[in-house]
Amino acid sequence: MRQQVFFENWGAIPYQEARARQQAILDEMVALKRQNTSESIRHRIIVCSHPPVFTIGKSGSMDHLLISQEQADNEQIEVYKTNRGGDITYHGPGQLVVYPILDLDQLFTDVHRYIRSLEEVIIRLLADYGLEGNRLSAYTGVWLEPKAGDWRKICAIGVHLSRWVTMHGLAFNIATDLRYFDKIIPCGISEEGKGVTSLERELQHPVPRQEVIDKLIKHFEKVFEVSINYGAEN
């Protein structure tokens, strides 16, 4: 039988609150595993958005924040260091943030495959809109092929695992205000010809957020070979 993954929509939620809620779920799942009661573990996939925030992963550098803390405070942009992989990124309104909290012991114990699978979900989602998503061997995330010479990143990925339980996840730009990315070196990538984009910029028209969520969940089910259970939706 396929593993069930419970869907939760946390709506617009401050980053630190979402991180604390994720951590509490992960800690509960890890505790159950230590008690050898993993059969009662509930996988989750959480969707949400955050007020403007820059988050800096374990391999990140404050040097990649191009404004001062005072400027960030004045512009009401929060700045946090976090325990996910990767460097600095931006979260804000118009972005779809997805936090899968999965016990990979019950799916597959392969971090590389997990990240590639998250990328595959987004690649298939983009195909629904006639866009070709790509992987770049040197970087995680999903990119669109060069336009006017630049690769454009549309989805960032950063994860954390504890005893094969995942947290954090991906951030997909639907209608994100891309000007915020000018205040950082996104994902620490300063290489010429690497930029950031959004679904609405590429399509040149608005896209319903719920439509994107529905498509993402459909592809998540297929790629991860799981069944989504909406019983836990908030």
Active site residues: 187
What is the total residue count of the chain?
Answer: 234
How, if at all, do strands 4-12 and 43-49 pair? parallel
Return d(Cα 141, Cα 136) in angstroms, integer.
8
C-alpha distances in Å from residue 178, one per residue of 63, 161, 183, 184: 20, 29, 10, 11
| Bridge pairing between strands 95-101 and 4-12 | unpaired
Q: What is the dihedral of CA 176, 213, 146, 131, to 10 degrees?
A: -140
Q: How far apart are CA 219 and CA 221, in angstroms?
A: 5
Q: For the stretch 192-227, what's the b/e string if a residue is b when 16 or more beta carbons lie within 10 angstroms of its beta carbon? A: eebbbbbbebbeeeebeeeebbebbbebbbebbebe
Q: How far apart (Å, rounded) are the C-alpha atoms in residues 158 and 141? A: 9
Count CB neighbours of 190 within 10 A: 9
Amino acid identity at 48: C
